[in-house]
Amino acid sequence: MKLKHAALAVCASLTLSGFAQAAGEIVIKFSHVVAPETPKGKAAEYFKKLAEQRTHGKVKVQVYPNSQLYKDKEELEALQLGAVQMLAPSLAKFGPLGVKEFEVFDLPYVFDNYDEVNKVMHGPLGKQLLGKLETKGIKGLAYWDNGFKNFSANKPIKSPTDLKGMKIRIQSSKVLEEEMRTLGALPQVMAFSEVYQALQTGVVDGTELEASNLYTSKAYEVQKNLTLTQHGFLGYALIVNKKFWDGLPADVRAQLDSAVQDASVYANKIAKEENDKAVAAIKASGKTKVYVPTPQEREAFKKALLPVHQKMASRIGPDLLKQIYKETGFNPGK
C-alpha cells in the first residue's frame, strides 16, 4: 500500500509538471470503474469528444474504463494527488473521504423516480453538497444519473426476509451497510471490479446493482434471479482535482465547462434508456430470471427498509434529511 502511495505521488508530480511544460497540450485523465457501454462510460466518451473539439485540440482527454487504472477507493486518492484529473464516482463512495452527506442519496425508497432525484441534484441542495468536496481538494462539476438498484442472487428474492443471512456486496456507504443489517443480511463492502468474481466463487451471495452495471459487468451471468425492487438510487458526481481545474487558462476552462454541461445533459438523458435496455437484455439472455414485485411485495420491502432513514439521520444530518423530504415530497409517516 505504501508503495502504491509512493507511486501515486511520483505520478502526481510528473503529471503536474507535465501539464505545465507539455507545449500547450493539457491532458485530462478520466478514470472510472465501469464498462465503456454504461451510461457513465458513454458520457465520459462524449465529454472527451466535446472537450477536444471545443478546445480545438488544446485539451486531450484520456478515458480509462473498467478500473484499468484504479479501483473505487484508490481512484479518489489518485484524484486528490493529481495522478488523474477527472472521475465520476458513485455518490455512495464519498463517505470514506469524510463527506458523508452524499450518503443521503443511498437511503432506500427516498426517491420514487428520476424527477425526484433530479429536483435534489439540480437544485440548491445538490450544489451545496458538491461544495463540501472543496476542502478535500476536489471540485464537483455536475451530477450524472445511473439508475435504481435491484437485488440479485441465485435464490429468488420476493420478500425482505429472503435476504436474511445472505452475504450481499455493497459500495462503501454506511447507509447501505445499515440497509443490509436492517434486512438481516451481511453487508460486504467490495470494489466494483471484484463483484463478478466474488459472485462466481460464492464469496458473496448477491448484489444490489442497477441493471446497466449488472449487465455490462456480466455479473448477471452468475446470478440466477433478479428482482426489480428499485429500492435505491445510484448516481454520480463528476469531479476534478481542484488545483488542476483552477489552474487552467480561463478560456480553456470555459470551453471545458460547456463540454461538462452538454455531456451531463447527455448522461442524464441516456441513463434510464440504458437501464431499460439492460433489463431487456438480461431477460433475453435466459440466464437470469427477472421478477417484478407485486405492489404488495414492494410495500413490504419499503416497510422493512424505511427505518434506515431514522437510524442514519444523525450520520447524514437530520436537517439535510428534512430538506430532501421537502424537495421530493416524501412523507416518512406514510
Mask of contacts with ligand LMR, 9-38, x by CB under 6 A? ------------------------xx----
Angle at 155 between CA 287 and CA 281, to 5 degrees: 25
Site for ligand LMR in 170-189 (CB under 6 A): 171
CB of 132 to ligand LMR, least distance (A): 19
79 part of the interface to ligand LMR, by CB under 6 A? no
Bridge partners of 20?
A: none
90 part of the interface to ligand LMR, by CB under 6 A? yes
Question: φ, ψ for residue 322 (rounded to 5)?
Answer: -60, -40
Residue 211: half-sphere exposure toward Cβ, Cα within 13 Å: 22
Mask of contacts with ligand LMR, 141-160, x by CB under 6 A? -----x--------------
CB of 26 to ligand LMR, least distance (A): 25
Question: Between residues 160 and 232, which has the closer beta carbon with respect to ligand LMR?
Answer: 232
248 part of the interface to ligand LMR, by CB under 6 A? no
209 part of the interface to ligand LMR, by CB under 6 A? yes
Nearest Cα residue to 332 out of 313, 317, 128, 233: 313
Helix (H) or strand (E) run with residue 167 in it: strand 167-170
If DSSP codes are grouped into helix, strand and coil, which group holds residue 31? strand
CB of 252 to ligand LMR, least distance (A): 27
Question: Between residues 85 and 171, which has the closer beta carbon with respect to ligand LMR?
Answer: 171
CB of 198 to ligand LMR, least distance (A): 12
Among 70, 151, 192, 266, binds ligand LMR (CB under 6 A): 192
Site for ligand LMR in 212-241 (CB under 6 A): 213
CB of 263 to ligand LMR, least distance (A): 16
Distance, in Å, from the CA atom of 232 to the CA atom of 82, rounded to the nearest integer, reads: 32
Interface with ligand LMR: number of residues (CB under 6 A): 9
Site for ligand LMR in 269-298 (CB under 6 A): none
* Beta carbons of 61 and 234 less than 8 angstroms apart: no
End-to-end CA distance of the chain: 48
Question: What residue has cell string 443480511?
Answer: 185
Pairing of β 233-241 and β 138-153: antiparallel
Angle at 149 between CA 197 and CA 268, to 5 degrees: 110
Question: Between residues 71 and 298, which has the closer beta carbon with respect to ligand LMR?
Answer: 71
Question: Between residues 232 and 330, which has the closer beta carbon with respect to ligand LMR?
Answer: 232
Distance, in Å, from the CA atom of 301 to the CA atom of 304, rounded to the nearest integer, reads: 5
Which stretches of the chain bind ligand LMR, using CB under 6 A?
Answer: 33-34, 40, 90, 146, 171, 192, 209, 213
